[in-house]
Amino acid sequence: MRALGLRVLLLLVLLTAGFLVAAGLLGVFADRLGLVAHSGLSAGALSSGGVVFLVLGVLLVLTTPFLLRRRHGAWALAMLIAPIGMLWSFYLIAQSITVFHVEWDTAAALTAILTGYLPTVRHFFRPIDLE
């Protein structure tokens, strides 16, 4: 059962990180790709939003090897990143409510699922006893 829980966590983390990075890249390069006119936001807002998504996605990718080793610090960092990503997605969705953004909605859904799943696997990530 332990291996299945960790595999699901790994899959969910990688999927969430992938969508966060994709949303970040689309936000950063929205002006060059001609997506600003149809986004409902300015180029600066898309770019800054994309940078936040990119940073969160890269941090989540970097925690993956440590999650495999069941490090408590990696679990705590993922537990910090997931709600921030979810709130940031909801904030951007609320700013441009008239336009549907697949990458933001998917990132919001995946980070919400990850935020809910991380506490259920917490018992795999106990801190190291030094005594």
pLDDT for the residue numbered 111: 93
Computed over every residue of the chain, the mean pLDDT equals 83
Average pLDDT over residues 116-130: 80
Q: And the tokens for 114?
A: 């990850």
Confirm if 104 and 54 have CB atoms less than 8 A apart: no
Contacts of 73 (CB under 8 A, 6+ apart): 66
Q: What is the mean pLDDT of residues 8-36?
A: 83
pTM: 0.82
What's the Cα-to-Cα distance from 16 to each of 37, 116, 129, rounded to whole Å? 27, 13, 31
Which tens digits make up the pLDDT trace of 69-91?
888 888 999 999 999 999 988 88
pLDDT of residue 102: 81
Q: Is pLDDT at 130 greater than 60 in this prediction? A: no
Q: Note the pLDDT of residue 12.
A: 92
Backbone angles phi, psi at 30, to 5 degrees: -60, -40
